Chains A and B, each alone.
Chain A
Amino acid sequence: RKEVEQDPGPFNVPEGATVAFNCTYSNSASQSFFWYRQDCRKEPKLLMSVYSSGNEDGRFTAQLNRASQYISLLIRDSKLSDSATYLCVVNPRGGSYIPTFGRGTSLIVHP
């Protein structure tokens, strides 16, 4: 099993739809989690951190489920500009710093 797994998609959704992505991780000792957005041929940009209590930023909600070892990203009222690849990253607890990115989930929002 890979350390961090994401469904590569693509997820094809109409404008205004709600869409959710999951990211599963295998290391139960993982400490911190983030979602990044990457546009085609551009660098990843931080979308949001994922806290144990969950967090929300406008149309975006991130959740952490430690028991089942996954994080999720929910996008409400999708916009055309949300079309991108969404990458999760999982950081281990303690020891050397070795973050692990998922391969990303592609989202295409169409009119």
Chain B
Amino acid sequence: KAGVTQTPRYLIKTRGQQVTLSCSPISGHRSVSWYQQTPGQGLQFLFEYFSETQRNKGNFPGRFSGRQFSNSRSEMNVSTLELGDSALYLCASSHLPLGAGTNEKLLFGSGTQLSVL
């Protein structure tokens, strides 16, 4: 069974540009959640999609957006990049939505390391 796949693995952008990251969940999983990980702030929840609908969004500016397709693959977009957006962006997939089941296993991808210069 293939794991959660994130592409690209590494990305270098300059300030003001925009970026799109992709996440392919485990086959059959309909929930995809996104996280930002930085040395200073740790792992922070960005948003979750379930069956193509955004269920929750964390405390991030509107420059951060996402979507989910009918095959459950998800993309997140960051517009007008800032230096502080440099981070490891992780996605995770699960069968049920977050909070729906206490024994639900969340599986993470290896992340996309974004550097903004």
Asked whether A and B interact, the reply is: no
Q: Which residues of B contact A (CB under 8 A)?
A: none
